[in-house]
Structure 1
Amino acid sequence: MVLKAIIIEDEKHSRETLKSMLEEFCKGVEVIAMAGTVDEAVRVLSVYSPDIVFLDIELQSGVGFDVLERIKEPNFEIIFTTAFEKYAIKAIKFSSLDYLLKPIDLSELQQAVNKARSNMDTNIYREQLDNLMQNISRGNMRPEKICLATTTGMEFIEIKDVIACKADGSYTCFMMDNGEVPMVSKHLKEYEQMLAEYNFMRVHNSYLINLRKVKKYVKSDGGYLIMENDLQVNISPRKKEDLIEAMKRL
């Protein structure tokens, strides 16, 4: 199957470079159109029916999200591109969508294209985009939901409802208020970085906890926590002091 691609990028050199990389190194991708401004992008997307769109986050005439706001029910995969790892990247990560940092690495480009080719579930993808746009539209730029690519599909969960995340090899289990435990094929360290500013803390090699869900701190037996769901979490000795300070700041 040939993937029809559109590139939305305001720098001509960057457009042409990406086009060459796609056509030369990404088998089965055909670039059918390119655009350099928000208005051009909207016009192009109204004429063509792409399978995949490479969308620069920062355009001289606005931002890439302006394009999405003007397109009703986009039925194509989006891979965002940007030269800066700024706030928008956080919102994209929380929606489990793909992005590429410029200058674009060839292997990362190929991986993103292959992932887009295997997705093609428009209903789930639309939910991911809706989640992204809701996050972007909030003035404080703090996503309230995170999209988890689980073994059964995509789940959109409220961050405040997560009690703890547990490492299970190369997987991460999310322990929720309602007793559900969705499993994601990503390492715990990735979520440690994403959730740090939401009062989550890595207190043990195997556990990342929501500090607001701690019910009790027990000093005996080396020290451990009892969470709101009665989960008992051991505390790494080197984390005790940091944990106590973090709890005081809440």
Structure 2
Amino acid sequence: MNTSKLRVIIVEDEYHSRETLKGFLETYCPETEILDTASQVAEAVQKITHHRPDLVFMDIELQTGTGFEVLQQVTDLDFHLIFTTAFEHYAIQAIKFSSIDYLLKPIDLDELIAAVAKAKKRVQSQSRQSLLENLLQNMLGGSSEFKKICLSTAEGIEFIPTREILYCEANGSYTDFHLVDKRKLVVSKNLKEYENLLGDFNFMRVHNSFLINLGEVKKYVRSEGGYIVMNNEKQVAISGTKKEEFLRRMGI
């Protein structure tokens, strides 16, 4: 066995999808070695536990349960995970929140190759288990107030509860996260991506440059065209087209 290869398990209950993915990996991803496949929750748990793979492709919906049930039952989550799903599943937001990769079926070959290359780079990462634990917490936890978003910075990976974000500020192709504890985290994704992720968690894009936590607004000032003051006294500009929505959401 070539130990430099990514050792893979495929968890997929649809025969055609399983064989297609297997064929793609064998033909176009020579850096992978398929150890085994599984189609049911209990079988997947047993095989992942036995083989201790580097990479698992996991269908979200299985005939006997879900991929999340597999993760709950595996005691050692030390592997890179790529979810597969045939549609925009309700869980996709939690998956994105936790910085976990996913592929929509039918799987696009170029996207698969890119995902495997990313997994190869992450194979020695010490954060793999933390990413999966955060995913389970986001999926199975209670109030959305306590959801944690995974932010990858130059220093490492941080898991930040959404309630601890004051506002996000556009910084070219980067986003600056300003936190309640006065820290600033710089993340290499643009503000639009976080607008999509945080929109359901009481955040609002009030300006091209600002995405704010509405729960951290101190006051709205009508003079000088109108602006917002956050709890840390930061003055945030608001676009004219956003004022009506902002005031409505604030109950003003």
The TM-score, its normalising length taken from structure 1, stands at 0.95
Q: CA RMSD in A?
A: 1.5
Report sequence identity in percent: 52
Counterparts of 1:227 and 1:141 in 2: how far apart (Å)? Answer: 21
Q: Structure 2 vs 1, CA of residues 142 and 132 (structure 1 numbering), >3 Å: closer, same or farther?
A: farther
Flag structure 1 segments of 5+ consecutive residues without an equivalent: none
* 1:46 match: 49
Q: CA deviation at 1:123?
A: 3.2
Q: CA deviation at 1:70?
A: 1.6
Kindly provide the amino acid, as one letter, of the partner of residue 166 in structure 1: E
**Among 215, 223, 226, the residue aligned to 1:212:** 215
Q: CA deviation at 1:139?
A: 5.4
- Are 2:236 and 1:242 equivalent residues in the alignment? no
3-state SS, counterpart of residue 91 of structure 2: helix
Q: Structure 2 vs 1, CA of residues 140 and 104 (structure 1 numbering), >3 Å: closer, same or farther?
A: farther
Paired residues for 1:117-156 under 5 Å: 117-138=120-141, 144-156=147-159
3-state SS, counterpart of residue 166 of structure 1: strand
- Are 2:204 and 1:201 equivalent residues in the alignment? yes
The TM-score, its normalising length taken from structure 2, stands at 0.94
Q: CA deviation at 1:142?
A: 7.1
Counterparts of 2:241 and 2:144 in 1: how far apart (Å)? Answer: 32
Counterparts of 2:209 and 2:133 in 1: how far apart (Å)? Answer: 32
Q: CA deviation at 1:165?
A: 0.3
Q: CA deviation at 1:141?
A: 6.9
* 1:11 match: 14
Q: CA deviation at 1:49?
A: 2.8
Kindly provide the amino acid, as one letter, of the partner of residue 186 in structure 1: K
Counterparts of 1:152 and 1:38 in 2: how far apart (Å)? Answer: 36
Counterparts of 1:70 and 1:210 in 2: how far apart (Å)? Answer: 35
Question: How many residue pairs end up in the alignment?
Answer: 249
Counterparts of 1:140 and 1:227 in 2: how far apart (Å)? Answer: 23
**Among 214, 225, 233, the residue aligned to 1:230:** 233
* 1:66 match: 69
* 1:221 match: 224
* 1:188 match: 191
Q: CA deviation at 1:74?
A: 2.1
Counterparts of 2:191 and 2:117 in 1: how far apart (Å)? Answer: 24
Counterparts of 1:142 and 1:33 in 2: how far apart (Å)? Answer: 39
Kindly provide the amino acid, as one letter, of the partner of residue 50 in structure 1: P
- Are 2:94 and 1:91 equivalent residues in the alignment? yes
3-state SS, counterpart of residue 123 of structure 1: coil
Paired residues of 2:174 and 2:190 also in contact (CA < 8 A): yes
Q: CA deviation at 1:10?
A: 0.2
Counterparts of 1:214 and 1:154 in 2: how far apart (Å)? Answer: 27
Q: CA deviation at 1:30?
A: 1.5
Q: CA deviation at 1:120?
A: 2.2
Spell out, residue by residue over 1:74-94, the C-alpha distance to the aligned partner (whole angstroms, 9 max, x if none): 221111111121221111111
Paired residues of 1:75 and 1:122 also in contact (CA < 8 A): no
Paired residues of 2:145 and 2:162 also in contact (CA < 8 A): no
Q: CA deviation at 1:183?
A: 0.9
* 2:33 match: 30
Counterparts of 2:154 and 2:120 in 1: how far apart (Å)? Answer: 18
